[in-house]
């Protein structure tokens, strides 16, 4: 009788143990799926790109100044797309980084509690609005507005797309920078105030350097976002590859090119189909470079309070 | 008095403090810049789009005639794609979050997964589109379907759901777990009966934020080849006769709100731009409602639960 | 006792009350601070001694909802530093402070010490070099750091960091220095060196120090105030407080009956 009870209790405990193990394994698989996704991204981009590089030399890809894969006289130089991407991102960051940083410093060090509670969520809405809506705004509101000042500005141009993208990225920069500044312990600030520093001096000379690694992370995220942004540039900057550093001109970015090709009807496995994967790989590598730079910066300037 | 006289000091302070004021003004203008753009954007949409908003606009298919065109197929498509996204991203993301917070031991595998989740959040959305094109559309042969689109967006918001889950779980004090363990609960019982229910609000907030992002995503869906002219509805999921549900809609071609808007924006004729503005207005209202809901839930539950 | 009569008055709190919002943290405090002497504030935790100290450089102005009532006069110019018309920055330029936990800035050793000078608009390198060296010597740190002035302050040990914070405050020649339990985060050896330093500093500057360590107060201070529940229970020269207190509460605390 007791033997029986013991063994049944033992069986029950074993069951429980097995069930716990199964659940843990399933949960692990779910977590591991993120790694699988990364691997899948790399495998697919690299596989299609390898197919591409069987036909196009990597030298041509990097040095040719034209990108006309869909023409009869096909050229496969990525430079024009990279230039378009860098110019639009550059314009966007010229807006987002100064404004985002100023807003972060203001909200963290100057603004009364109430103002921060209201302004922060409102600014974060900027990030919540669909990018295609921003595209509309850039093409049909900002460009006409700019044309009022610069009559020769073409209907598609990188300036307007970049400016609007910059405003969209502001909350990325300001939110994360502000969090980093607010994480600076109060006793460091008190040290500065006790020396007779003003708010501005404390913010600029003590809090900002102390939060540097967090602010750098915010910038890196903003940069990645600007490089990878698609719809605003696809709608407002034009889709013609154009090797120029002048933001007043139209030009396609890497992302806009992918959209343009996807809208058409390219047969699976064709060279044209493969070009969008090469473009995607280039884009991924560009964001990777900035992310690695960001990691390096953070490690080098990690704050120890 | 060592150093400097009080008068010199006061002059110095007055000059230094001027910068406090100048910076405050610059800061206010910077914020105003962001807010004004937001207002201008919504106003521009409303002025151009509001006249087009009517019952017919929601119940009509797209058309060659701008004045007759509507967003019926687009909003139905968006709804169905979001259903797939939620049903796949939430279980996967919550499970991953639970694993990382409650089960994972500190080792290289956990580090790898954590770094991975962080990096996935920084991958441009169009790259997910390329992944989906290669993997879902061709490798798994799902075609340019609602299922493929839903899964694409699910992958896109997975990091958001994972991070939200982890944060929600982390905010639950260890004493709650100890209490459950002390009563003889297993780990899974503790997690499923205590940890998860208490973190529902936080997870829900994250899911809604993720969805509000997914609902406006255009690029990855264009990449998988979502068509822009769809003048039919997918097969209905609920049937009058046995077995009452059908999954044919999953393989149906589709369009979604942002793609419909993009299509209209790219047309040269001005009448279509009004349609685009109207669709944009609907999109903005949808995302604003979702954001407001997320803020409400976060605020409401933060007030109710006090550890 | 004869000391008393000879000492010049540096500062004086009169009928000082202080409120954190609704809560009254200091009740009708009267206290004098003698010039170039060390005055210690002791008492059980929560008695208001740090709160009182932080009134002297208007630190409470940093947080909303705090309110002063009464006055703290600073001599020789007889100015009430709690007067709302007086800018707290002016007060902080005249009165330096060293905190409980060493709080160097995320900068080099040199820039930490030069901070107060730069805040005052001094950027002449020669002048900065000279003042930084003098301050570091004054804080007995020069010999340890003179070869690595450009390394980050965080690389110093806890005791060194605290001496750096003292140097930082000294560099601007304050008239008075406030120490808020400056050794509570340090080991005994570092504590001894800081105590020694404080004892030397009274040659050049008036010192007000909060300590939870009675022996420390007995060792370094000339005057001691015992505080309890937001009030100054007893204030006299240190010798009297520790050997012949007039109040029962002081005696109980000194002999370790509570606190």
Give residue-wise pLDDT tens across range B120-156.
Answer: 888 899 999 999 888 888 878 777 788 888 999 999 9
Higher pLDDT, B53 or A50: A50
Q: Is the pLDDT of residue B272 over 80?
A: yes
| Rounded Cα distance, C166 and C174, in Å | 11
Strand runs labelled E in A213-288: none
| Rounded Cα distance, C178 and C97, in Å | 5
| Rounded Cα distance, A252 and A66, in Å | 12
Query: How many percent of chain B have pLDDT more than 70?
Result: 89
Instruction: Tell me which residue of B260, B257, B250 sits closest to B146, measured CA to CA.
Output: B250
Instruction: Tell me which residue of B85, B97, B247 sits closest to B164, measured CA to CA.
Output: B97
Q: Is the pLDDT of residue B32 over 80?
A: yes
Phi and psi torsions of A247, nearest 5°: -65, -15
Query: How many percent of chain C have pLDDT more than 90?
Result: 36
What's the pLDDT score for residue A161? 93
Whether C18 contacts C26, CB under 8 Å: yes
pLDDT tens digits, residue range C150-192?
898 888 888 899 999 999 999 988 999 999 999 888 888 888 8
Domain boundaries, chain B: 6-51, 54-304
- Tell me which chain B residue has its CA closest to the CA of residue C10: B1
Sign of CA dihedral A34, A36, A37, A41: positive
Burial C2-39 (b: 16+ CB within 10 A, else e): eeeeebeebbbbeebebeeeeeebbeebebbbbbbbbb
| Mean residue pLDDT across chain C | 88
pLDDT bucket at C98, cuts 50 / 70 / 90: very high
pLDDT bucket at B2, cuts 50 / 70 / 90: very low
Topology classification of domain B54-304? MetI-like fold (1.10.3720)
Contacts of A137 in chain B (CB under 8 A): 40-41, 44-45
Mean of the pLDDT values across residues B199-213?
87
Q: Is the pLDDT of residue B303 over 70?
A: no
Contacts of A289 in chain B (CB under 8 A): none
Instruction: Tell me which residue of C243, C225, C98 sits closest to C171, measured CA to CA.
Output: C98
Sheet of C38-42, strands arranged across: C95-98, C176-180, C206-210, C38-42, C223-228, C231-237
Q: Is the pLDDT of residue C5 over 60?
A: no
Q: Is the pLDDT of residue C138 over 70?
A: yes
Mean of the pLDDT values across residues B25-49?
90
Sign of CA dihedral A209, A211, A212, A216: negative
| Rounded Cα distance, A94 and B41, in Å | 20
Ranges of chain A whose pLDDT falls below 70: 1-7, 301-305
Burial A232-244 (b: 16+ CB within 10 A, else e): bbbbbbbbbbbbe
Task: Report whether CATH 3.40.50.300 matches the domain C2-254.
Answer: yes
> Is the backbone of residue B298 left (phi > 0), alpha (psi -120 to 50) or beta?
alpha
Residue C26, strand partner residues: C18
Q: Among B65-69, B157-161, C7-11, which stretch is predicted with the lowest mean pLDDT?
A: B65-69
C62, A193: Cβ pair inside 8 Å?
yes
C154, A304: Cβ pair inside 8 Å?
yes
Angle, CA B277 vertex, CA B271 and CA B279 arms, to 5°: 110
Whether A190 contacts A203, CB under 8 Å: no
Instruction: Tell me which residue of C93, B20, C60 sits closest to A199, measured CA to CA.
Output: B20
A209, C105: Cβ pair inside 8 Å?
yes
Mean of the pLDDT values across residues B59-75?
77
Mean of the pLDDT values across residues C94-106?
91
| Rounded Cα distance, A111 and A31, in Å | 40
C87, B2: Cβ pair inside 8 Å?
no
Whether B247 contacts B176, CB under 8 Å: no
Q: How would you classify the pairing of strands C9-20 and C231-237?
A: unpaired
Whether A105 contacts A203, CB under 8 Å: yes
Mutate: best of C87, C115, C117, C168, partner A, most A CBs <10 A: C115
Mean of the pLDDT values across residues B170-182?
80
What's the pLDDT score for residue B92? 92
What's the pLDDT score for residue B234? 72
Which residues are CB-neighbours of A188 under 8 A, at least 6 positions away?
A206, A207, A210, A305, C103, C105, C106
Angle, CA A271 vertex, CA A268 and CA A276 arms, to 5°: 80
State the burial class of residue C48 (Cβ atoms within 10 Å of its Cβ: 0-12, 13-18, 19+): buried
Domain boundaries, chain C: 2-254
What's the pLDDT score for residue A152? 87
State the burial class of residue A122 (Cβ atoms within 10 Å of its Cβ: 0-12, 13-18, 19+): middle
A192 close to C (CB below 8 A): yes
């Amino acid at each position: 009788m007791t033997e029986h009870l013991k063994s049944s209790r033992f069986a029950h405990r074993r069951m429980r143990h097995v069930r716990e193990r199964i659940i843990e394994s399933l949960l692990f698989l779910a977590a591991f799926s993120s790694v699988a996704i990364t691997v899948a991204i790399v495998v697919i981009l690299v596989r299609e790109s390898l197919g591409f590089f069987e036909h196009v030399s990597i030298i041509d890809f990097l040095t040719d100044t034209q990108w006309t894969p869909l023409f009869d006289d096909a050229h496969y130089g990525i430079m024009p797309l990279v230039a378009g991407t860098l110019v639009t991102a550059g314009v966007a960051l010229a807006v987002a980084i100064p404004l985002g940083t100023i807003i972060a410093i203001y909200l963290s060090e100057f603004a009364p509690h109430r103002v921060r509670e209201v302004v922060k969520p409102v600014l974060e809405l900027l990030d919540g609005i669909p990018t295609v809506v921003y595209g509309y705004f850039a093409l049909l509101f900002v460009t006409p507005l700019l044309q009022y000042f610069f009559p020769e500005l073409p209907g598609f141009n990188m300036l307007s797309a970049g400016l609007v993208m910059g405003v969209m990225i502001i909350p990325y920069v300001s939110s994360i920078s502000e969090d980093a500044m607010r994480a600076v312990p109060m006793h460091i600030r008190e040290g500065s105030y006790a020396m007779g520093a003003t708010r501005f001096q404390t913010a600029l000379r003590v809090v900002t350097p102390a939060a540097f690694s967090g602010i750098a992370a915010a910038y890196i995220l903003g940069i990645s976002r600007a490089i990878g942004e698609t719809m605003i540039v696809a709608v407002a900057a034009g889709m013609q590859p154009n090797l120029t550093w002048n933001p007043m001109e139209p030009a396609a970015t890497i992302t806009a090119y992918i959209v343009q090709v996807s809208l058409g009807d390219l047969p699976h496995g064709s060279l044209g189909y493969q070009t969008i994967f090469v473009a995607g790989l280039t884009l991924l590598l560009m964001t990777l470079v900035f992310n690695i730079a960001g990691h390096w910066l953070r490690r080098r300037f990690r704050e120890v309070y | 008095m060592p150093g400097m006289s009080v008068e010199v000091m006061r002059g110095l302070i007055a000059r230094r403090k001027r910068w406090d004021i100048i910076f405050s003004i610059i800061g206010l203008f910077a914020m105003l810049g962001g807010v004004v753009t937001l207002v201008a954007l919504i106003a521009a949409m409303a002025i151009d789009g509001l006249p087009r908003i009517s019952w017919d606009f929601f119940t009509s298919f797209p058309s060659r005639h701008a004045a007759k065109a509507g967003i019926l197929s687009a909003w139905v498509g968006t709804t169905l794609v979001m259903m797939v996204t939620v049903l796949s991203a939430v279980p996967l993301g919550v499970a991953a979050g639970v694993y990382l917070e409650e089960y994972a031991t500190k080792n290289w595998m956990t580090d790898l997964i954590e770094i991975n989740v962080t990096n996935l959040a920084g991958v441009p959305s169009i790259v997910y589109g390329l992944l989906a094109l290669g993997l879902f559309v061709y490798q798994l042969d799902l075609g340019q379907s609602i299922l493929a689109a839903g899964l694409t967006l699910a992958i896109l918001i997975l990091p958001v759901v994972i991070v939200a889950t982890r944060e929600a779980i982390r905010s639950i004090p260890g004493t709650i777990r100890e209490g459950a363990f002390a009563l003889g609960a297993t780990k899974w019982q503790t997690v499923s009966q205590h940890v998860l229910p208490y973190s529902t609000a936080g997870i829900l907030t994250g899911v809604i934020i993720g969805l509000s992002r997914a609902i406006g995503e255009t690029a990855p869906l264009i990449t998988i080849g979502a068509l822009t002219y769809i003048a039919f509805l997918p097969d209905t999921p609920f049937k009058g006769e046995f077995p009452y549900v059908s999954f044919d809609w999953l393989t149906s071609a589709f369009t979604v709100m942002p793609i419909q808007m993009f299509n209209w924006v790219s047309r040269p004729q001005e009448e279509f731009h009004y349609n685009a503005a109207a669709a944009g207005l609907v999109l903005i209202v949808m995302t604003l409602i979702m954001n407001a809901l997320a803020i409400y839930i976060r605020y409401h539950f933060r007030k109710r639960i006090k550890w | 006792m004869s000391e008393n009569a000879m000492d010049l008055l540096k500062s004086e709190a009169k009928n000082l009350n202080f409120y954190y919002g609704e809560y009254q943290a200091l009740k009708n405090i009267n206290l004098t601070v003698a010039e170039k002497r060390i005055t210690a504030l002791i008492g059980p935790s929560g008695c208001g001694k740090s709160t009182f100290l932080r009134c002297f450089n208007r630190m409470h102005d940093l947080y909303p909802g705090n309110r002063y009532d009464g006055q703290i006069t600073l001599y020789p110019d007889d100015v009430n530093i709690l007067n709302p018309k007086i800018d707290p920055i002016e007060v902080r330029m005249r009165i330096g402070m060293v905190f409980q936990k060493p709080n160097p800035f995320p900068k080099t050793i040199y820039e930490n010490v030069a901070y107060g000078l730069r805040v005052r608009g001094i950027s002449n390198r020669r002048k900065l070099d000279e003042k930084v060296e003098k301050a570091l010597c004054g804080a007995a740190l020069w010999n340890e750091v003179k070869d690595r002035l450009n390394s980050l302050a965080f690389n110093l040990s806890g005791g060194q960091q605290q001496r750096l914070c003292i140097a930082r405050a000294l560099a601007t020649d304050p008239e008075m220095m406030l120490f808020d339990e400056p050794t509570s985060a340090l080991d005994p050896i570092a504590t001894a060196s800081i105590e020694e330093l404080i004892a030397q500093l009274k040659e050049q500057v008036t010192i007000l120090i909060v300590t939870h360590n009675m022996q420390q107060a007995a060792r370094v201070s000339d005057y001691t105030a015992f505080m309890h529940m937001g009030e100054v229970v007893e204030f006299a020269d240190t010798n009297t407080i520790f050997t012949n207190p007039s109040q029962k509460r002081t005696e109980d605390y000194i002999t370790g009956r509570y606190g």
